[in-house]
Amino acid sequence: MLAAQCAETAIEVRQPLRKELERRVAKLVPPTSPTELQVLVNLGAAAGPTLLRKLEKASTVGKARIMNTLRSIAYRHRDYEHTTNAAIRLMKDSTPIDRSTPTRSAATPPAPTTLAEHAAGVAAEMVNFSDAAFSAIHATMPGADPSAVKMLRALVKSAKGSEGRERLQALIEHYEAAHAPAGPASAVAAARSPRRTARSG
């Protein structure tokens, strides 16, 4: 695993070695135990490409476990913006998750019940450290599944720091404005842009 982390930052790594490292990481995806999850989380961004590649063909439970892993990586390392597009795509997916399946993240509860909720958990972590992720997710909120918005509402209550809460609230308000009856109030909410919650520094 240490070799995989080094390969992620090394300028030159021989192709056979890189392939072998990717093969070994791939054996852990999707993780089926807390130990495998922890190994991938410890790898951080080095595990990211394999996680995203496996996401496409994974089963519903596999996708939930992969998103859970990506969320934990974002939570622990505040890293890997490449997760953004996957989160945006799956925030539209209302496929239910078996509540008995151990797919929860080490990050903030509650337990997700749909793929969209898992993706919303990832999104909530991403917007905490990435202006680019916040802007991209904000722009696509009108197409999110209601269960994803439900998760964001729950996470607002436990968000650490005012900026994190403001960003999550901005995502929720953008969704609500897009789905509200036309009128002055909704027009004002719709006008709210990511710029209001973007970092000044």
Q: What local confidence, expressed as pLDDT, does residue 67 receive?
A: 93
User: Is 63 a domain residue?
Assistant: yes
* Euclidean distance between CA atoms 142 and 145, whole angstroms: 9
Q: What local confidence, expressed as pLDDT, does residue 7 receive?
A: 42
Give the H/E segment covering residue 167: helix 162-179
User: Is 201 a domain residue?
Assistant: no
Positions of the chain with pLDDT under 70: 1-22, 99-110, 183-201
* Euclidean distance between CA atoms 136 and 85, whole angstroms: 8
Question: The domain containing residue 79 runs over which residues?
Answer: 2-196
Structurally, how many domains does the chain consist of? Answer: 1
Other residues' Cβ atoms within 10 Å of the Cβ of residue 124: 28
Q: What local confidence, expressed as pLDDT, does residue 60 receive?
A: 93
Question: Is the separation of the CB atoms in 95 and 115 below 8 Å?
Answer: yes
User: Is 174 a domain residue?
Assistant: yes
Q: What local confidence, expressed as pLDDT, does residue 9 receive?
A: 45
User: Is 6 a domain residue?
Assistant: yes
User: Is 167 a domain residue?
Assistant: yes
Q: What local confidence, expressed as pLDDT, does residue 173 receive?
A: 96
